[in-house]
Each structure stands twice: as structure tokens, then as C-alpha cells.
Amino acid sequence: MIWETDKPIRLEVDGVGLEARCYGPPPSESPTIVMLHEGLGCVALMRDFPQKVADATGHGVFVYSRQGYGQSDPVSLPRPLDYMTREAVDVLPKVLDQIGFRAGVLLGHSDGASIAALYLGNIQDHRVRGLILMAPHFFTEPSGLASIAEAKVAYETGDLKPRLAKYHADVEGAFRGWNDAWLDPGFKEWNIEYAIDYVRVPVLAIQGADDKYGTLAQLDALEKLYAPFDRVVLNDCGHAPHLEQGDKTLAEIVEYMARLDRIEAAEPEVA
């Protein structure tokens, strides 16, 4: 088991080095909340949110930068259009095993939320007791693709590239790997709603009312869940609820985790 809270750690999955951070108690002592970042995110861009979640819930929190992001190893471009499914099926299971994951929740933001849903859509893992999805994507929308096209302009002609370069060792790989995939003509047909049908754990979905990368139709897709579903829409909030409405987002997560803890405590032990 790899779990150190006083410094960044590094995992290796199939020869690829991944930067990571751990907060709070290890999986042997408490449920673990595994955070999955957005399409331009990384460990550092989660800022102090992981520590706040660990402090507020008393649970361990683990976050890692996917290949091509942050200080993780670079990725070969172009990314395949099913890169989120590949992350969920080929990489995330090995990451969970390396940290000694025993029970807990996947908490994803944007692309990370899609990866969290895809994990349970493709892998039966009873260790995962719940999903927290912030600004999830289940299909493409014209308005979201238009905003991603605007991001390309901002990267090529504005200040987005130097701002991202502060956090990503390979800023070209980080941006192009995300942006080029989403703007590929073949990506318009991308749809992972099938994964929802396989989710059998409580889901908390949080989205900003002003999210320019996805409409509330993304949350509407979750209404068909065969599991308890809490839907939270935050006003005066865009694509990053944990940064733009941090207190409200944290309060929702704490309440959700407390309910899961009560459910776990009430379950009878099997002899």
C-alpha cells in the first residue's frame, strides 16, 4: 500500500509515472474518497479542496494526475476518442489497487466525473459504495463544443497557455490531448449514457447553473438511475462547483458521506 500524507507520491502504472497526493487516514483505517480531475486539471489544480474534504469528512482522500497532466509522464498524441473509457478500464483499477483501496467513493469533476461513471459502467467493484459527480458529461452538446472551441482560441491567442503551463509539465500534451479529442468531428457522437444503467450505488451530482460546458440535460440523464440520486444545481456557479461555490459544494459532500456512513454502519455483518 502506498499512502503518505506529508509529501507528493508517485505511482507507476504499466510503466507510466503518475503524480499523486494523499490526505487523511489510509484505506486500512477509513473509507477513501478518490478524486478524478477535469480535462485540463491535475493534482495542483484541485488546490486545497482535497484537504478540506478530508478534514470535513474524516475520511482519506486520494487524488492523482492522469498521464499527460500535471507532473505525470507525458502522453502520446492524439489521444484516442475513447480515452475516458480507457482510463476507467485500464488505469483506474490499478491505481486503486496500488493505494490499497478497500471501500469508498469516486469523486470526479467533468472528464473525471465521466471516468467515475464509466468505471462502474464497465467494472463490477463492490468496494465503490458511491459516486459524486461534479459537472459530469454523458454526451456532447453543441453549446459545450462551442465553449471548447473558444478555449482553443484562448490557448492559441490569449493567456490560457501560460496559465496552464504553471501546472502542467507538458502543457501542449495536456491541452491538445483534451481539446483535439473533443473537437474531433468523430467525437460529436460520443455518448456514455449506457454506463448509468450499471450504477447501483447512491449518486450525488452537482452542477453549476451557469456551466458553459454542459447543460442540465447532463443531470437529467441520471434520472433513470436504479439507485438513490441527489441532484444539486448551484446558482452563480459555472463549471467548477468545488472552486466557485466551495462551501456549498463541501456541505453537500459532507452530508452525502454522512448518509453513506450511516448506511454502512446499519448493514448487518454476514457470518
* pLDDT tens digit sequence for 65-101: 999 999 999 999 999 999 999 999 999 999 999 999 9
Amino acid letter at 172? E
Q: How many domains does the chain have?
A: 1
Residue 1's pLDDT is what? 67
Q: Does residue 4 lie within any of the structural domains?
A: no
pLDDT in tens, 29-73: 999 999 999 999 999 999 999 999 999 999 999 999 999 999 999
For residue 222, give every residue at least 6 positions away whose Cβ sits within 8 Å of its Cβ, in sequence order, or none.
133, 136, 138, 196, 203, 205, 229, 231
Grid coordinates representing 218?
Answer: 447532463
> Cα–Cα distance between 9 and 21 in angstroms, integer?
6
Distance CA 76, CA 250 (A): 35
Q: What is the pLDDT of residue 164?
A: 98
Question: Does the pLDDT value for residue 271 go beyond 60?
Answer: no
What does the pLDDT read at residue 267?
Answer: 64
Q: Which residues contact 255 (CB under 8 A, 6 or more apart)?
A: none
Residue 192 lies in a domain: yes
The CA distance from 235 to 130, in Å, is 25
Average pLDDT over residues 164-186: 98
Whether residue 270 lies inside any domain: the answer is no
> Which residues span the domain enclosing 75?
9-264
Euclidean distance between CA atoms 72 and 54, whole angstroms = 23
Residue 201 belongs to domain with CATH number: 3.40.50.1820
With CA atoms as reference, report the closest residue to 140 among 39, 257, 264, 25: 39
Q: Is the pLDDT of residue 270 over 70?
A: no
Task: Provide the pairing of β-strand 203-208 with 9-13.
Answer: unpaired
Q: Is 1 part of any domain?
A: no
Can you list the positions of beta strands (E) in 48-202? 60-64, 104-109, 128-134
Does residue 86 lie in a domain region?
A: yes
In a domain, 70, yes or no: yes
* Per-residue confidence (pLDDT) for residue 91, from 0 to 100: 98
pLDDT at 74: 97
Sequence-distant (≥ 6) Cβ neighbours of residue 85 within 8 angstroms = 118, 122, 192
pLDDT greater than 90 at residue 263:
no
Q: Is position 189 within any domain?
A: yes
Our CA dihedral for 166, 93, 111, 132, rounded to 10 degrees, sits at -110
For the chain, give the mean pLDDT: 96
Q: What's the grid cell of residue 252?
A: 453537500
What is the DSSP-derived secondary structure letter of residue 128? E
